[in-house]
Amino acid sequence: MHPTESARLDPVNCMLRVQQAINGHDLDALTACFASDYASTFPAHPERAFRGHGQLRANWSQIFGLVPDIHADLLSSVVNENSVWTEWEWNGTRVDGLPFLQRGVTIQGVEGGVVVWVRLYVEPVQQGGHDIATMPDRGTP
């Protein structure tokens, strides 16, 4: 395999292409980073699971429309064979003038240079909430 081809297939390079497509607001380039039948799951929100490009395009079309200046920062990544664990920050300003800020982790299975499955643990950042000392007991450590 040619070194250029090897780099293109690398899971981190796939995530860098995802980042570039988000920052370029390029829906076609973003879609090309995913297998046509890829599986998307949200373990904290199981009802949001879907499969394929149709819902991906619908979701990101809405995000690009609601947050026209969205910017993705890939904060860190770790590769384990064909999976890549990534930490993201997505920020911008919504069309209603409110700030948009989400952070979290995604885990992707990458084969042939495209995402074949993803688990998303990304949530809106809560502003003005309780600090750890005053947080109500929620039964979690």
Q: What residue ranges do the domains of the chain occupy?
A: 3-124
- Return phi, psi of residue 58, to 5°: -65, -45
pTM assigned to the model:
0.86
- pLDDT of the chain along its 141 residues, tens only? 444 444 455 899 999 999 999 999 999 999 999 999 999 999 999 999 999 999 999 999 999 999 999 999 999 999 998 999 999 999 999 999 999 999 999 999 999 999 999 999 999 998 776 666 666 665 555
| DSSP calls for 34-49 | EEEEEEEE-TTSGGG-
- The matching CATH number, chosen from 3.10.450.50, 3.40.50.920, 3.30.43.10, 3.90.1520.10, for 3-124 is 3.10.450.50
Coil, helix or strand for 5?
helix
Maximum Cα interatomic distance, the chain, rounded to a whole number of Å = 56
